[in-house]
Amino acid sequence: MATKDPIALIEALENPNVRAFLRMLRHGEGTAGDNGYRVQFGGGLFASFVDHPRQPITRNLGGKPITSTAAGAYQFLARTWDGLVKQYGFADFGPKNQDLGAVALIAGRGALADVMAGRFEQAVIKCNREWASLPGSPYGQPVVTMARARTEYEAHGGTYAEAAAPAFTVVTTAANQPATIATTTKEPAMAPFIAAVLPALIDLVPKLGKLFSSGSDTADRNVKAAEIVVAAAKEAIGARNEQELLETLQADPAAAQLVRQAIESQWFKLEEVGGGIQAAREANAVYMQPNAPGFWLNPAFWVSLAFLCMPLMILADMLFAHPDSYDDTLRTQIITAILALLGVVGAYWLGTSFSSQRKTELGVAGAKQPTV
């Protein structure tokens, strides 16, 4: 007995983007032709739509034998189809029910809203574990490129969500005063191709997943971290773009190892994104500009002073007040720690000063450019 009403699937199937997405899936699965709804794994055809054919077929893919019961336009496994029948009560394996079953699988991956809204890359990423032919699929089978997937989607009428734009809100004021317009900026969007390759990199280096949080307060940090990760991965193997990176990772274990090492080498830089010394410098930038408030109003100055005073007091005690209380090992440890602390504070202030000076130079240079 069915546990879900298929009416929602039927309504979703009326959406042009859903229909275009399904045609794109069929292209990737090799079932785009007239007999696509009858195709079995390996390319043969089954005769009847009365039920899923449930026929295990073995084919060599990538040099190894693979046995599968996949059949139909969306290459449903027998067990997958049985689950859909149990949920929705499909009476047969005909084309209409195959389409509805595919919509149900998209919904099960949490991608139906993305498909309907035209968030194409997001939908592909969510569905690439359901269909092995989609870009970024982890199963090691041949995949279509994201560019080709987009071409097929567009060819069948698929459209995309509008690019993120500032939202404007009219703010009312007192009588006879002009209204003002407040601008609220949407969360920064990650480039689609970077978003497409990121899941494969997280599979390669699982601890990457901990870096990417959800929420508007971390969106900008996520974008910057993703750009660093993907840039390091491409540079490690000489990939010209994200799609070439993804295809190389899937085909070449040695390349995957190089990418893993490259990402690991960037770990300190990744942890600094949105925090650490760089963030402190950015917060401190206002105090380093010409005509800025006095340095005594700068919180970073007082924090640095506090960090320096205590070790200097310990150093004075060790050298002058109670030198006999410190053995050679302890002296070495204290001096090493003090030098490290001085290095951190010095790097912070020298970096801040250089950055401020460079911004000033660029501003002066820009001011001197002739107007056209």
Where in the sequence numbering do the catalytic residues fall? 29
Residues with Cβ within 8 Å of 339's Cβ and at least 6 positions away in sequence, in order, are none
* Residue 126 and residue 110 in contact, taking contact as beta carbons nearer than 8 Å: yes
Residues with Cβ within 8 Å of 57's Cβ and at least 6 positions away in sequence, in order, are 40, 41, 42, 44, 67, 68, 69
Residue with tokens 């929705």: 88
* Residue 192 and residue 121 in contact, taking contact as beta carbons nearer than 8 Å: yes
Mind giving me the DSSP string for 118-180? T-HHHHHHHHTTT-TTSTT-TT-S----HHHHHHHHHHTT---PPPP--EEEEE--STTS--E
Q: Which two tokens stand for residue 295?
A: 């340095």
CA separation for the pair 72, 66 (Å, rounded): 18
Phi, psi dihedral angles at 274 (to 5 degrees) = 80, 10
Supply the DSSP symbol for 274: T
